[in-house]
Amino acid sequence: MAEVSPEVRARVQASFDRQGLMTHLGARLTGIEEGTVRITLPARPEVTQQNGYFHAGATSAIADTAGGFAGFTLFPENTSVLTVEYKMNLLAPAIGEYLEAVGTVLKPGRTLTICRLEVFAVRDGQPKLVAAGQQTLICVDARPEQ
């Protein structure tokens, strides 16, 4: 993947930093490339379900966000990104030290962009695919962000 410009990197990071849910979950933006974004979520009790696995809501939230920002890396300046829809398949219990969500643009468009979403549980340094999905994004004019 191609590196993004410093301006795009700053725009993506600034928008991510305003995401209240990502802050609440403890997620971190760990990779920004043209059309691909990576987000990690460390394991902690607040993001698990009753059996100790990462909760599907946390898994899906970081996947949706990774895909959204992957699309955003390709959007023009003075635009914003919104998710139109996404679907996740949970493939295995998410057990590990952390999750890594990878959003990758499959088809960019002027209005709609399609992304692949993958989430890996990393345990003892070994990633295991635990969720996969697809997402549709819409590029909209930028609005003042709260």
CATH code for the domain in which residue 125 is found: 3.10.129.10
Residue 15 has pLDDT above 60, yes or no: yes
Instruction: Work out the burial of residue 131: count CB atoms within 10 Å of its CB; fewer than 13 is exposed, 13-18 middle, 19 or more buried.
Output: buried
Q: Does residue 23 fall inside a structural domain?
A: yes
Q: Does residue 28 fall inside a structural domain?
A: yes
Q: Does residue 89 fall inside a structural domain?
A: yes
Calculate mean pLDDT across residues 54-69: 98
Helices first, then strands: H and E counts in the chain: 3, 6
Residue 145 binned pLDDT confidence (cut-offs 50, 70, 90): low
Q: Does residue 146 fall inside a structural domain?
A: no
Q: Kind and range of the H or E element at 65? A: helix 56-72
Rounded Cα gap, residues 35 and 40, in angstroms: 17
Quick one: which of 118, 101, 106, 105 has its CA closest to 40?
101
Distance (Å) of CA 72 to CA 28, 41, 97, 125: 17, 20, 28, 29
Q: How many other β-carbons are positioned within 10 Å of the β-carbon of residue 77?
A: 8
What is the token pair recorded at 22? 């990502």
Residue 146 has pLDDT above 60, yes or no: no
Q: What is the pLDDT of residues 63-113, one digit of tens each?
A: 999 999 999 999 999 999 999 999 999 999 999 999 999 999 999 999 999
The answer to whether 124 touches 144, Cβ cutoff 8 Å, is no
Calculate mean pLDDT across residues 15-34: 97
Q: Give me the residue label for tokens 């990633």.
A: 127
pLDDT at 17: 96
Q: Does residue 102 fall inside a structural domain?
A: yes
Residue 124 binned pLDDT confidence (cut-offs 50, 70, 90): very high
pLDDT at 109: 94
Give the chain's domain count. 1
Q: Does residue 42 fall inside a structural domain?
A: yes
The residue range of the domain holding 67 is 6-141
